Amino acid sequence: MITFTTIGLRRVLAATLAASLPAFSFGQSDLGAISGKAEKRLETAIQELAELRESIAEKKIPLATELREIEQIVEEKRSEQRSLQRQRDNSGLELSSLETQLSAREDEISYISNLLLDYSNRLNASIHPSEVQLYGDDLLEILNASEKSGISRDDLIEKRLSAIGMGLERVKDNAAGHSFGGKAILADGSFVDGQFAFLGPIAFFASSDGKSAGLAERGSSLEPRLLVFDPEATPAIAEFVKQGEGSVPLDTSGGRATAISATKESLIEHIGKGGLWMYPILGFAFLSLAIAAFKFLELSKYKLLPKEVVFEVLSKLYKGDKAGAERVAKENGGAESKMLVVGIKNSHLPKELLDEIMFENLLEEKPKLERGLSFISVTAAVAPLLGLLGTVTGMINTFKLITLFGTGDAKSLSSGISEALITTEFGLVVAIPSLLLSAFLSRKANSMIAKMEKTSITFVNGIAAHAAPNVVEFEKRMAGGAKA
């Protein structure tokens, strides 16, 4: 800002007026009048300027104060806006975090629900057969609860939680010992009413009349079966079940020895568990064994001629004694003797024709030696296939049982698994001996056929060599072979 004094301002205005006025000649009085007016106007302007400055100075402080207040309000609004922006951003993050936590809690609830279901299945599989009468219906309701339509997740979890209470109650009762009424299966397969008594994990049963008493074990069905391992202990067990105290025999192995003894079965029972396909497997085994025994006896009685007999027959033919040669061949008997007799009768024919006649006679004997062997080899091939078929059938039955009862109780699946494994077992038991017998008997029959072929070739070559020029040398070799 430029500041002017009064004198300086007057000089500037005078100079300005002098420069702006035309170059006219004024008198002294006129110039003074103009200067006076100018000074008055100037004083008026200066006074107005002073008043204006004073007015501005009076209004400047309130305006500055108001400006500072407005700026403070603006800063507060900006701070509030930034706070709201942060809250909006944080609210999005918190919502995402809450959704993540909610999903994690949902997964935890599903995991706990599955654990409770698994516990229910394990409890259902571990309870004693006699305890099925106590807990079976409740456990079945718990396991089937998820299949009910309209049941909420909370109700389902609450239902499965009841299995925990049931298991704790069972542990408490078994630890303290308890008894309850029920039915068991006797050795003859009949049901009898009686009383069960638990001593830890061991369950005893005594009939109402006291005549039957022993251990209560799982039978072939889901019903408890009475196992009488010591008839002399029956009265003591009956007294213990009735009174709740007494001396009873215990299995120190924790029931394992008793369970192992209960699983022992006869061969007939073992075969019976194999199911329908055991009958064709055993049928093939019986026929194969019978044919193998018959074939072994047949081959053992089969007569083969020593090579000395062949040389003796040729010697008599060389001497022209055909009747003597036939007599020597018939003395030993057997298929080779018949073949030599045919060769002696046709010894006058050419070598090629005689060889064909001898070979024809050999072909007649070959099927007799090999008959029945093919059935044994077929048995060796078919038995494993029948076992595999039984395995497939057994597994199909197992999956059917799994569909009906689930996988909680493995013992309920034993029938299908037994059929699957036992048929395979017997298929291999039948196939391996059949394969060995087929190989042994086939080798024995082939060796006999080879011996007959050698006899035939020796006879034909001997007849052909007799007519050759070096017959003397051949007779010497034949005589040496006969002596050997």
d(CA 17, CA 38): 10
Q: Binning pLDDT at 50, 70 and 90, where does residue 410 land?
A: low
Specify the range with the lowest mean pLDDT, choosing from 6-20, 185-199, 380-394, 423-437.
6-20
- For residue 330, the one-letter residue type is K
The better pLDDT of the pair 138, 220 is held by 138
User: What is each CA distance from 247 to 235, 236, 239, 240, 370, in whole angstroms?
Assistant: 10, 6, 9, 7, 70
pLDDT above 90 coverage of the chain, percent: 5
Query: Could you tell me which residues come within 8 angstroms of residue 274 by beta carbon, excluding any fewer than 6 positions away?
Result: 281, 390, 418, 419, 422, 423, 426
What ranges do the domains of the chain cover?
28-104, 145-267, 278-483
First to last CA, the chain: 157
Tokens of 359: 């070979």
Q: Binning pLDDT at 50, 70 and 90, where does residue 35 land?
A: confident
Closest listed residue to residue 416, CA positions, set 436, 438, 393, 439:
393
pLDDT at 432: 93
Once rounded to an integer, what is the mean pLDDT over residues 324-336? 76
pLDDT at 195: 81
* pLDDT(5) > 50: no
pLDDT at 411: 56
Closest listed residue to residue 429, CA positions, set 275, 290, 293, 271:
271
d(CA 304, CA 290): 25
Which residue's entry shows tokens 């291999």? 428
Q: Binning pLDDT at 50, 70 and 90, where does residue 220 land?
A: low
* pLDDT(73) > 60: yes
- Classify residue 380 by burial, with Cβ atoms within 10 Å: 0-12, 13-18, 19+: buried
Which residue's entry shows tokens 């006969």? 482
CB 278 within 8 A of CB 390: yes
Once rounded to an integer, what is the mean pLDDT over residues 207-220? 73
pLDDT at 393: 83
pLDDT at 23: 45
pLDDT at 300: 80
Once rounded to an integer, what is the mean pLDDT over residues 339-355? 79
pLDDT at 434: 92
Once rounded to an integer, what is the mean pLDDT over residues 178-192? 77
The better pLDDT of the pair 364, 484 is held by 364
* pLDDT(482) > 60: no
> Residue 196 phi/psi, 5° resolution?
-100, 145
pLDDT at 24: 44
CB 460 within 8 A of CB 347: no
CA dihedral 186, 191, 195, 200 (to 10 degrees): 60
d(CA 330, CA 334): 8
- The counts of H helices and E strands in the chain are 15, 5
Specify the range with the lowest mean pLDDT, choosing from 54-68, 152-166, 464-478.
464-478
Q: Binning pLDDT at 50, 70 and 90, where does residue 436 land?
A: very high
pLDDT at 8: 52
The better pLDDT of the pair 335, 116 is held by 116
> Residue 165 phi/psi, 5° resolution?
-60, -40
CB 359 within 8 A of CB 366: no
The better pLDDT of the pair 314, 409 is held by 314
Q: Binning pLDDT at 50, 70 and 90, where does residue 260 land?
A: low
pLDDT at 311: 82
Once rounded to an integer, what is the mean pLDDT over residues 318-338? 77
Q: Outline where 319-413 has alpha helix (H).
A: 322-332, 335-345, 351-370, 373-405
Closest listed residue to residue 166, CA positions, set 118, 134, 198, 199:
134
SS3 at position 228: coil
Reduced 3-state DSSP string for 234-257: HHHHHHHHHHCCCCCCCCCCCCHH
